């Protein structure tokens, strides 16, 4: 995997820019990644990101929108508001997780 520097962080990324090492992420880096795609993180965003990371640790794959909506209690419509256009892909990117299966 490629190593790149993002705001002073040296991180491993795949060809699409998704982090490939779970332990290289922290909330500050998440804020930087979010800003790169035009999102200013709020506590509500962070709640979703924390759920995604915890779920990934337990399940071993990035949660789908349906899983986030059901288990984290965030309606799908709200996920689209928080992470416009491609919420699953954007949530995974900002959370430092692999792109979810089925995302183009």
Residue 86 · residue 104 · CB < 8 Å:
no
> Is 46 an annotated catalytic residue?
no
| Alpha-carbon span 23 to 60, nearest angstrom | 14
- Exactly one of 6, 37, 72, 103 is catalytic; name it: 103
**Of 8, 4, 91, which Cα lies nearest the Cα of 53?**
91
The catalytic residues are 103
């Amino acid at each position: 995997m490629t190593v790149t520097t993002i705001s002073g962080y040296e991180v491993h990324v795949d060809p699409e820019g998704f982090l490939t090492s779970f332990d290289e992420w922290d909330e500050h880096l998440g804020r930087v990644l979010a800003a790169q795609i035009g999102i200013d993180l709020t506590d509500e965003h962070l709640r979703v990101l924390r759920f995604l990371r915890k779920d990934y640790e337990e399940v071993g794959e990035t949660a789908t929108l349906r899983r986030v909506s059901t288990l984290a209690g965030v309606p799908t419509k709200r996920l689209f508001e928080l992470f416009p256009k491609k919420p699953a892909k954007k949530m995974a990117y900002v959370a430092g997780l692999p792109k979810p299966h089925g995302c183009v």
